[in-house]
Amino acid sequence: MNKERKLIIAGNWKMNKTAAEGLDLVRGLKIELASVKEVDIVVCPPFTALSAVSKAVLDSNLRLGAQNMSEHNVGAYTGEIAAVMLKEFSVRYVILGHSERRQYQKEPDALIAKKAQAAYAASLKPIVCVGETLAEREAGQTQKVLETQVRGSLAGATKEQMAETVVAYEPVWAIGTGKTATTAQAQEAHAFIRSLLVRMFDETVARRARIQYGGSVKPANARELMSQPDVDGALVGGASLEVRSFADIIKNSI
């Protein structure tokens, strides 16, 4: 597939996989995906598997991401993990503002923006997640919600920082539900986000920015989704937990 921007496909393992299970998964992915050069491939294990997985991906085309991090650099924040701690395990990307964290941990846009700043300061690339709920879509609020989340989560980001950022459009109603946005719905939302980036930054920044789609991506729908002009990759939950399905999503996207 000839794309304007290099595809980035990331697996969000969520709270799945012990270190040993994670190792099994990446060993399989390394074999299946060894020859893939057209896609930036990222795996995002839980914190407890980062050490084992980081060693396993060292000599491969797999890159490592984390699922969250603190907005603080150090100190009395029990249970939190700082960017510098992620860097110790050669983590390159960090998912910020996933809808599950927005929902269960009540993470607001302003906090996500602070985490993004801490990520940039540590040379980590944030994958900033945005997306509307079903009620918001049905009320015709999709673009308003996306604009609030994108502006709020990227508040204070410079053009240079935006160049290091991936945006993940994840309609909440499509996450883990088996309901995928139609290609038209995905393209429309992605084009809207890109137009927003033009207004927030400039044409060049917006044209270069990678916008992933997330929400029940599977081998069977990956090709069609990735063929949309403004869809530059995928953030994959459930289907990233098996070698076969994650590898096939990537192969079907090329």
The catalytic residues are: 98, 170
Rule CB under 6 A: choose which of 24, 134, 176, 202 binds ligand PEP.
Answer: 176
Judged by beta carbon, residue 14 or residue 194, the one nearer ligand PEP is: 14
Are residues 34 and 61 in contact, defined by beta-carbon separation less than 8 angstroms?
A: yes
Q: Is 213 helix (H, G, I), strand (E, B) or coil?
A: strand
* Distances, alpha carbon 42 to alpha carbons 73, 91, 233, in Å: 24, 10, 11
Q: Which residues pair with 65 in a beta bridge?
A: 93
Binding to ligand PEP by residue 217, rule CB under 6 A? yes
User: Which CB, 29 or 82, lies closer to ligand PEP?
Assistant: 29
- Least CB distance to ligand PEP at residue 236 (A): 5
Q: In whole angstroms, give the CA distance from residue 74 to residue 39.
A: 34
Contacting residue, 175, 181, 197, 222, with ligand PEP by CB under 6 A: 175
Out of 52, 111, 196, 236, the residue judged to bind ligand PEP by CB under 6 A: 236
Of 70, 161, 165, 216, the one binding ligand PEP by CB under 6 A: 216
The Cβ-side half-sphere exposure at 64, using a 13 Å CA radius, reads: 25
Which residue lies nearer to ligand PEP by CB, 168 or 206? Answer: 168
Asked if residue 45 binds ligand PEP (CB under 6 A), the reply is no
